[in-house]
Structure 1
């Protein structure tokens, strides 16, 4: 789920993945507050976290029939509100994250196969 942006995922694994990503980010930042190693280790942790977040978001966007490139906008919007929105652009980021929450966390994926593959909850039968 966190290693490749191809394919589709349903709502439940998406929500679990997002909770895990946010918890890991919060844990890293809580442990790193005031530590000398925050910046050098952050150069490794943050890009890995962003890649994993884009993978999870892209898969869920694929399930909704959208391009995975929308994940970039959601990650940027999240960046503007983490840990809280503190500017006008933060309000715009909040709007993007709220849209993503409704679109990806609440609405069902497309039924049947789409250009990103079949849904994961439908068994595929081999051609005979």
Structure 2
């Protein structure tokens, strides 16, 4: 049977088709048979059963005109000169290298300013962590990799905190027995640990910023449109 896509949300992977028989059929991303962006209005061929559409093939699709100030799911930045929502609040879709560096620069500058506000700044910085995860996730998607890899920097710092706590306890034990060498070894280990954590995280940021994205459609959507039009 053939029909027309009424809606499709790339974030949830759920969509709705109006069949040529007048009935409506729901479908999910797993029912799509082609690795291609899907927009409302696309003509599709599918198998209908009990209100569900399976084996959905795209037959024809027109280029959608983005609404002013909006963006197409899976295409971060379409329809806006700088789409803040797509950049910082949406972990789905893809962004390019330029948009990543712009977003990273904004977050870095904001965190530097917030560091001057003892308590409020710290709380806001924690909330901004989500924006950083969204930014890294979309960049990873553009490279064809899972957005879950965006957790690497946070995992490294958590490991550093835990190991530093263990080392500090050891240093306190060494101090109890007046073991100067033990205290120096503990302090040196903590210094190397945090140096390694910082270097690894800087390397991760650079890797995201310099690695080119995939030039074709991938599992996370079509190649991204530029977010920054300046």
Q: Given the two structures, how large is their TM-score scaled by the length of structure 1?
A: 0.73
In structure 1, how many angstroms separate the alpha carbons of the residues matched to 2:122 and 2:198? 25
Where does the alignment leave 5 or more consecutive residues of structure 2 unmatched? 1-86, 161-189
Report whether the alignment pairs 1:53 with 2:139.
no
**CA shift for structure 1 position 77:** 4.6
Alpha-carbon contact 2:95-2:138 (below 8 Å) kept:
yes
Where is the strand percentage greater, Structure 1 or Structure 2?
2
Where does the alignment leave 5 or more consecutive residues of structure 1 unmatched? 33-37, 81-85, 123-128
In structure 2, how many angstroms separate the alpha carbons of the residues matched to 1:13 and 1:78? 25
Q: Deviations over 1:68-126 (max 9, x none)?
A: 1111112455787xxxxx7222223233223323321112101201111111149xxxx
Structure 1 runs (4+) deviating above 3 angstroms are 75-80
Alpha-carbon contact 1:76-1:93 (below 8 Å) kept:
no
Corresponding residue for residue 4 of structure 1: 90
Aligned pairs (5 A) from 1:16-27: 16-27=102-113
Corresponding residue for residue 146 of structure 2: 67
Aligned pairs (5 A) from 1:23-34: 23-29=109-115, 31-32=116-117
1:26–1:57 CA distance, 2 compared to 1 (3 A): same
Number of residue pairs aligned between Structure 1 and Structure 2: 110
Choose 71-80 or 56-65, whichever is displaced more. Answer: 71-80
Aligned pairs (5 A) from 1:1-128: 1-29=87-115, 31-32=116-117, 38-39=118-119, 41-42=120-121, 44-77=123-156, 87-121=191-225
Alpha-carbon contact 1:63-1:109 (below 8 Å) kept:
yes
